[in-house]
Amino acid sequence: MAGDTKLGPERGGGSPLAERVALVTGGSRGIGCAIAVRLAGLGASVSICGRDEGALASTLRELKSQGVRAQAHRADVTRNEDIADLVSTTESYLGPVSVLVNNAGIGIFGPVQERTEKDWDAVLSTNLKSVFLVSQAVIPGMIRRGGGDIVNISSLAGRNAFAGGAIYCASKWGLQGLTACMAEDLRQLNIRVSSVLPGSVATDFGRRAKDASKALAPEDVAHAVAMLLTQRAQSFISEVQLRPLQKP
């Protein structure tokens, strides 16, 4: 049934995520869209959220073309009221959330002395605060049902500094700390919390790469997420660092 949160690839034979419900924030385009499509291909029912209704509708059509149950919701994941509505609607339509992929993110770059408090608030709220808020909204249900998976999409900028990256790096370094502590808080409750740290990805967001042809594809990140979700139930991969083979 939809509320079953058994972990690992034993679920559903040829569909490793059959009967699981996945919520992907920022799921309407780029990495989030690729993740949502990949999880649908593995049999999950998928809920996506974002702010662009046109992009949400396009991705929803692609998900439904795979024959899975899917739902799209316009939401600002920095706002608790939007999150409550998102989770409630998802669970009413698809069933209890047993997989959460916190993917929503933005980047504002430039020398630290040129950035503003507004820039700081926008990036930290989207990249860090939203992970805290959305996770808090689904964790109680995961605990009641005996388990779940949370995957936070971070960045190699959460391990490395670069000029012009002060605010973005701060958000991703913070996300790494949040993820590690969440993992320790929840692992004994059968909830795995992992992070995926991609390098340069060929998306609109990743246009800073010098040579996009050498960058990762969104599907590469989706593959890493799928690997985390289909590992054996007793296995726990806490972090995946993902780099292009050749530097862009």
Query: Tokens 């790096």 label which residue?
Result: 169
User: What does each C-alpha distance from 50 to 5, 87, 95, 193, 231 come to in angstroms?
Assistant: 25, 13, 20, 22, 28
Q: How far apart are CA 206 and CA 179, in angstroms?
A: 23
Comparing C-alpha atoms, which of 17, 120, 145, 130 is closest to residue 82?
130
Sorted by sequence, the CB contacts under 8 Å of residue 153 that are 6+ apart come out as 31, 32, 35, 101, 102, 103, 105, 195, 196, 198, 221, 225
Q: How far apart are CA 30 and CA 27, in angstroms?
A: 8
Residue 50 token pair: 């974002």
Q: How far apart are CA 116 and CA 214, in angstroms?
A: 33
Catalytic residue among 168, 178, 215, 220: 168
Residue 213 token pair: 């042809």
Determine whether 168 is an active site residue.
yes
- The answer to whether 176 and 169 have CB atoms below 8 angstroms apart is no
Catalytic residue positions, numbered: 168
